[in-house]
Structure 1
Amino acid sequence: MYAESASGEVRAVIGSNLRPGNVWQTVELPRLMDNPHVNRIVVIDPDTGIETTVFQR
């Protein structure tokens, strides 16, 4: 899985209308946050282009 091999700053394009139980919130994000090699996670809104840091070590 991508989250377990990622490192450094992770950037993800994530829309604002996520369905309940989506993979991003239930699997990918928690695994990225648990990965000691990831130091920052930035989410990019595809509609506005706004970047938000959702995690920083």
Structure 2
Amino acid sequence: MKKRVTFALDQDVVAELKTISDETMIPQSRLVEKAIEEVIEEEKKKIDQGLI
């Protein structure tokens, strides 16, 4: 189940996101979701290792 959320992002980040989305035909929302999933996994590993 998807939930709509709103974030403010730097204009340069949005421009790069649009470019990548256009070139890969991957929706911007999917690219953002994938990036967030990767950050979550990285942070969980740090927490598990006691680094945070």
Structure with the higher helix share, 1 or 2:
2
TM-score, normalised relative to structure 1: 0.27
Structure with the higher strand share, 1 or 2:
1
Which structure has more relative contact order (CA 8 Å, sep 6+)? It is: 1
TM-score, normalised relative to structure 2: 0.29
Q: Highest Rg: 1 or 2?
A: 2
